[in-house]
Amino acid sequence: MFGRDFTSVLDLSPDELSGLLDLALGMKRDGSSPLLAGQTLALVFEKPSLRTRTSFEMAMYRLGGRALYLSPMEVQMGAREPVKDVARVLSRMVQGIAARTYGHDTVLELAQYASVPVVNALSDDEHPCQALADVLTLRERYGSLRGLRIAYIGDGNNVARSLAYASVMTGIDLVVAAPVGYELPDETIEVARALQGGGSVVQVRDPYEAVRGATAVYADVWASMGQEDEAEQRAEDFAGYQIDMALLAAAPPDALVMHDLPAHRGEEISEEAIESPNSVVFEQAENRMHAQQAVLASILGGR
């Protein structure tokens, strides 16, 4: 069992991360157990979702508990009432909170004021549950993560940051190829490099350089939720950063194609690439449920 909240991959030690992957694989193999009977997880979402909402709801269901979805219109955190009041009200009625927010500060404020555990279901800065599912997908396929190489092509965003931390902590070598102005900040790279676990992170400009020798080639959207106004500019700035068959031809022939979804075909990934036989995007999506089942069993069920 790790500490109370899961707001960032940095809340885990490499051993705890590895333990969660073992637990997730075990739960995936053995099916459900009523570990969280009588417990409720509130899902407080400021942004839309398919995978995250469904995977948290199903993870709670499979553990014998229930989830309570609270939509952006319902709660209006920070507008209808202060974040700290939302945290304290929910803490009186539910056993855990999963929050999808714009500012990362909002998740941290919820965690500060809640007396129940808070899980980050995506913020502008991090998507730790996605990173867990991603490394789980690779672990399942290869048995061990040490020495695997992921080429992440695109924006140095929330998904890239969590993946960078999780990669270093699990022995994966991550190469990020981003256009000028869209790199992961130096501070993030420094924090990632200081982590234990034996992996590494480097940033390059050229996607073709990044995919050389890659075990997996990873894409995320060019414009994240909340950046809709920048979408047109970003489409110009990210030209040449699409994962397409030409780029995959520069990677090893068995390199996996990864994407956290939702995907914008024709932008960050081509139809042919995402539908290729090497694509594991739906394994990643399914593994969200198994990874979060392990997180919830750990922080709410003492596993």
What are the residues binding ligand NVA (CB under 6 A)? Answer: 122, 157-159, 220-221, 224-225, 260
221 binds, among ligand NVA, ligand CP, none (CB under 5 to 8 A by kind): ligand NVA
User: Which residue lies nearer to ligand NVA by CB, 18 or 55?
Assistant: 55
Residue 211, C-beta contacts closer than 8 angstroms, at least 6 positions apart: 151, 153, 217, 247, 248, 250, 251, 255
End-to-end CA distance of the chain: 5
Residue number, 288 or 290, with CB nearest to ligand NVA: 288
Strand ranges (E), the chain: 40-45, 66-70, 96-100, 118-120, 149-153, 173-177, 200-204, 216-219, 256-259
Per CB under 6 A, which of residues 122..151 are in contact with ligand CP?
Answer: 122, 130
**Which of 13, 40, 49, 278 forms a contact with ligand CP (CB under 6 A)?**
49
Dihedral sign from CA coordinates of 90, 96, 102, 104:
positive
For residues 40 and 67, the answer to whether their CB atoms sit within 8 Å is yes
50 interface partner picked from ligand NVA, ligand CP, none, CB below 5 to 8 A per type? ligand CP
Report the site for ligand CP in 52-71 (rule: CB under 6 A).
52
Closest CA relative to residue 133, chosen from 56, 208, 81: 56
Q: Does 227 bind ligand CP (CB under 6 A)?
A: no
143: tokens are: 């048995």
Select 35 or 159, whichever has its Cβ closest to ligand CP.
159
Report in angstroms how near the CB of residue 84 gets to ligand CP at its nearest: 25
Using the contact rule CB under 6 A, the part of the chain among 18-26, 46-54, 148-156, 182-190 near ligand CP is: 46-54
Instruction: Give me the sign of the Cα torsion angle 23, 28, 31, 37.
Output: positive
Nearest approach in angstroms of CB 295 to ligand CP is 14
Q: What angle do CA 145, 188, 78 make, to 5 degrees?
A: 110
Tell me the residue number closest to ligand CP, measured at CB: 52
Q: Which residue's CB is nearer to ligand CP, number 84 or number 264?
A: 264
Q: How many CB atoms lie within 10 A of CB 61?
A: 15
Nearer to ligand NVA, 63 or 201 (CB): 201
| 56 or 113: CB nearest ligand CP | 56
Q: Which residues bind ligand CP (CB under 6 A)?
A: 49-52, 122, 130, 260-262
